[in-house]
């Protein structure tokens, strides 16, 4: 242990013991053991963040006391789960892992409805359920729940915190881990902390970035990127604050004074000031409170923006990583079950920096998602293949969360240098992809909508459900049975990749039954200007019921997915994240190998509507055999001739 850390712990431990041992001596011993094991690391993270503060050691003690209090309040069954997870730290890398994500209200009405859907989740094979923002939030504009008024309260329209706790327990008893969003870059302006700041409380004004005039906002904005330049230019919002200059006699004079608040995303979302250690302590308590309700994974929202420094973009700063690592270290002490999943829709180089066992053990893989759609549009695998080869490997003990759609838009986040190596102009290629997925490109099968389109630059992102982007909507409108078949094949193809490539596959619930775009969002004034609501429809119970009929569109998609899920979960070669990209010798076919102690699977996938060929020798070289079984069809595959892949078909080959 670092000498400074050891001395600090030696001074703090007697004070902590005196305060907490008597409450539960056995639990305190467990806590102290973890504290001693992790203190050096935690201290080394907090020191560069807050060591310059005059009261650093006061806040260090408060942070440890918060961790101790929350550990002692942790239910016995969750403490037992902590011990199990510590004994098997790689539990989330099992091939049995399968995620689902949904909005509570759109999918099931409320938390009680989610409990009713438990058999549905089990039938699909889920082991991980991510419920989109469900905490108390303002009425009207709330960024789809990403403006949080209280981390301790569920949105009353969805249920109560007690219901969420009971749901977490029931899910856990059925082998499903609960995942929720931890919106920790900002709070709603209706959060109690913001209300106190508005009322003139200087302690809570220090929880946010609040300035008396435009001097500092103007200085910061010289280097800041606007997130929504068309709809909300700038990163600061003017608000009237109560100002209490003093007391004269018995009368207290209160004045309203305009000030500027840092609001990266929307005017009602106030950025938290993590340079203040009081904010770290307060948010640590909220995080551990959620862990004590049974939440096993927190999706850390907007990780790139959590630290600010003048003269920079205030994105992806080194202190942001230290901050997340400090939260992680505290969780190892007070709630070891808890894992972090990063949400960083930024350059691929920056995404990778958030992924480590000490920071975020899980991470969304936005690059794979974007490039699956890019490959469907171009029918060429070169950019996907190159990016998977160069950027898929991550820190040991961590895993990607792979998905084809989510609640958000699609941004074309590939690296321009990677594209240039493949002979692709990044700017022009994004223009093509935007045209293709909005149906403006001749011959496109996609029916998406532009999001945040800039008519001057042609820049935009893409909204739309998986089914509509893959051609199902257009095929149904055209009543074209052949195109319908191709669209279903596309849906299954891209899901086959996320199920087999390595990591946790995540299904945006509704995609498993081919849910199309819902244009009804236009009738709601609160949603009409946000095209992302086109892929956030209410669940159609009739559509879900048809999933059990193999003759329906829903049944063909659901049945195909369920079969692939079963194959994945039964084959240990799909565990972990080790993956080798191989050259299929065909520009339209993606090839990769999954292998481990339990065996080897060679995957080839045709990304075109035409039959494609892979040479017998290529299959032999990577499969290390002359005879195979295709797990997908159960058929034998010999190498008496080349491997023929039908349109949008894929094979998972194991040596016979």
DSSP state of 355: B
- Residue 96 in 3-state DSSP? coil
What CA–CA distance (Å, rounded) separates 114 from 353?
A: 35
Predicted pLDDT at 249: 41
Q: Do 521 and 536 meet the contact criterion of CB atoms below 8 Å apart? A: yes
Instruction: Compute the average pLDDT of residues 261-271.
Output: 96
Residue percentage of the chain with pLDDT more than 70:
98
pLDDT band with cut points at 50, 70 and 90 for residue 232: confident
Predicted pLDDT at 346: 80
Instruction: Compute the average pLDDT of residues 381-393.
Output: 96
Predicted pLDDT at 250: 44
Other Cβ atoms within 10 Å of 411 Cβ, number: 18
Predicted pLDDT at 256: 85
pLDDT exceeds 50 at position 295: yes
Predicted pLDDT at 233: 85
**φ, ψ for residue 651 (rounded to 5)?**
-130, 145
pLDDT exceeds 90 at position 285: yes
Q: Do 591 and 550 meet the contact criterion of CB atoms below 8 Å apart? A: no
pLDDT band with cut points at 50, 70 and 90 for residue 247: very low
Q: Do 329 and 41 meet the contact criterion of CB atoms below 8 Å apart? A: yes
Predicted pLDDT at 251: 46
**Surface-to-core class of residue 109, CB atoms within 10 Å of its CB (0-12 exposed, 13-18 middle, 19+ buried):** middle
Give long-range contacts, CB 8 A cutoff, 24+ apart: 468-475: 468/516, 468/517, 468/535, 469/373, 469/405, 469/437, 470/376, 470/445, 470/446, 470/494, 471/445, 471/446, 471/447, 472/514, 472/516, 472/553, 473/447, 473/516, 473/517, 474/439, 474/445, 474/446, 474/447, 475/445
pLDDT band with cut points at 50, 70 and 90 for residue 187: very high
What CA–CA distance (Å, rounded) separates 85 from 397?
A: 13
Strands 186-188 and 269-271: antiparallel
Instruction: Compute the average pLDDT of residues 457-484.
Output: 96
pLDDT exceeds 50 at position 68: yes
Q: Which residues are catalytic?
A: 301, 343
In order of 344, 354, 381, 402, 404, the CA distances from 392 in angstroms are 15, 14, 15, 11, 16
What CA–CA distance (Å, rounded) separates 318 from 326?
A: 13
Per-residue pLDDT tens over the stretch 504-557:
999 999 999 999 999 999 999 888 989 999 999 999 999 999 999 999 999 999
Instruction: Compute the average pLDDT of residues 54-74.
Output: 98
Instruction: Compute the average pLDDT of residues 98-107.
Output: 97
What lies within 8 Å, CB to CB, of 148 at 6+ separation is: 133, 135, 136, 137, 183, 187, 188, 191
Give me 519's structure tokens: 């244009």
Give the chain's length.
Answer: 656
Nearest residue to 463 via CA among 414, 401, 402, 527? 527
Predicted pLDDT at 253: 57
pTM of the model: 0.95
Phi-psi region of 501 (alpha: psi -120 to 50; beta: other; left: phi over 0): alpha
Instruction: Compute the average pLDDT of residues 336-354.
Output: 91
Predicted pLDDT at 46: 97
What CA–CA distance (Å, rounded) separates 213 from 26?
A: 54
pLDDT band with cut points at 50, 70 and 90 for residue 60: very high
pLDDT exceeds 90 at position 421: yes
- Mean per-residue pLDDT over the chain, rounded: 95
What CA–CA distance (Å, rounded) separates 145 from 155?
A: 9
pLDDT band with cut points at 50, 70 and 90 for residue 51: very high
Predicted pLDDT at 348: 87
| Dihedral Cα 535, 143, 266, 405, nearest 10 deg | -30
Predicted pLDDT at 343: 86
Per-residue pLDDT tens over the stretch 233-246:
899 999 999 876 65
């Amino acid at each position: 242990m670092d000498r400074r850390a050891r001395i600090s712990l030696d001074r703090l431990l007697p004070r902590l013991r005196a305060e907490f041992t008597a409450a539960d001596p056995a639990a305190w011993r467990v806590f102290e053991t973890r504290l001693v094991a992790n203190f050096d690391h935690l201290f080394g993270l907090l020191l560069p963040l807050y060591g310059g503060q005059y009261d650093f050691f006061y806040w260090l003690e408060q942070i440890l006391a918060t961790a101790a209090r929350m550990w002692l309040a942790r239910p016995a069954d969750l403490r037992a789960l902590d011990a199990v997870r510590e004994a098997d730290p790689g539990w989330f890398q099992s091939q049995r892992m399968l995620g689902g994500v949904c909005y509570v209200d759109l999918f099931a009405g409320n938390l009680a409805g989610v409990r009713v859907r438990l058999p549905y989740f089990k039938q699909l094979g889920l082991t991980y359920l991510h419920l989109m923002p469900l905490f108390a939030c303002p009425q009207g504009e709330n960024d789809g729940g990403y403006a949080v008024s209280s981390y301790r309260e569920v949105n009353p329209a969805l249920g109560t915190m007690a219901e969420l706790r009971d749901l977490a327990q029931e899910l856990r008893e059925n082998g499903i881990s609960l995942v929720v969003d931890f919106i920790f870059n900002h709070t709603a302006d209706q959060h109690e902390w913001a209300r106190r700041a508005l009322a003139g409380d200087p302690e809570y004004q220090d929880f946010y970035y609040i300035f008396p005039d435009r001097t500092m906002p103007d200085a910061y904005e010289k280097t800041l990127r606007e997130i929504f330049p068309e709809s909300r230019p700038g990163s600061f919002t003017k608000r009237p604050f109560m100002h209490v200059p003093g007391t004269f006699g018995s009368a207290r004079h209160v004045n309203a004074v305009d000030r500027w608040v840092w609001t990266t995303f929307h005017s009602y979302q106030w950025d938290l000031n993590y340079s203040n250690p009081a904010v770290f302590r307060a948010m640590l308590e909220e995080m551990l409170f959620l862990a004590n309700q049974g939440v096993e994974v927190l999706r850390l929202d907007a990780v790139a923006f959590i630290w600010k420094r003048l003269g920079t973009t205030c994105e992806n700063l080194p202190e942001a990583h230290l901050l997340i690592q400090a939260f992680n270290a505290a969780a190892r002490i007070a709630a070891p079950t808890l894992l972090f999943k990063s949400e960083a829709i930024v350059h691929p180089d920056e995404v990778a920096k958030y992924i480590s066992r000490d920071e975020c053990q899980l991470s969304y893989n936005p690059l794979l998602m974007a490039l699956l759609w890019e490959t469907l549009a171009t029918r060429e695998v070169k950019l996907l293949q190159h990016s998977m080869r160069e950027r898929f490997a991550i820190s040991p003990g961590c895993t990607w969360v792979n998905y084809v759609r989510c609640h958000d838009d699609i941004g074309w986040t590939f690296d321009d240098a990677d594209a240039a190596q493949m002979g692709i102009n990044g700017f022009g290629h994004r223009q093509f992809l935007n045209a293709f997925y909005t149906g403006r490109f001749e011959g496109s099968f996609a029916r998406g909508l532009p999001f945040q389109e800039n008519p001057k630059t042609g820049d935009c992102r893409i909204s739309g459900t998986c089914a509509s982007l893959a051609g199902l909507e257009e095929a149904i409108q055209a009543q074209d049975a052949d195109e319908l078949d191709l669209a279903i094949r596309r849906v299954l193809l891209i899901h086959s990749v996320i199920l087999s490539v390595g990591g946790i596959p995540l299904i945006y619930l509704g995609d498993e039954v081919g849910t199309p775009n819902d244009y009804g969002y236009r009738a709601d004034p609160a949603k009409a200007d946000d095209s992302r609501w086109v892929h956030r429809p209410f669940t159609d119970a009739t559509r879900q019921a048809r999933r059990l009929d193999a003759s329906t569109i829903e049944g063909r998609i659901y049945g195909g997915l369920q079969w692939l899920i079963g194959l994945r979960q039964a084959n240990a070669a799909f565990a972990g994240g080790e993956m080798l990209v191989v050259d299929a010798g065909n520009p339209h076919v993606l090839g990769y190998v999954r292998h481990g102690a339990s065996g080897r699977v060679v995957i080839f996938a045709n990304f075109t509507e035409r039959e494609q060929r892979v040479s017998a020798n290529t299959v032999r070289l990577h499969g290390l055999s002359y005879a195979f079984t295709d797990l997908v069809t159960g058929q034998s595959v010999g190498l008496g001739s080349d491997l023929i892949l039908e349109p949008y078909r894929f094979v998972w080959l194991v040596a016979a």
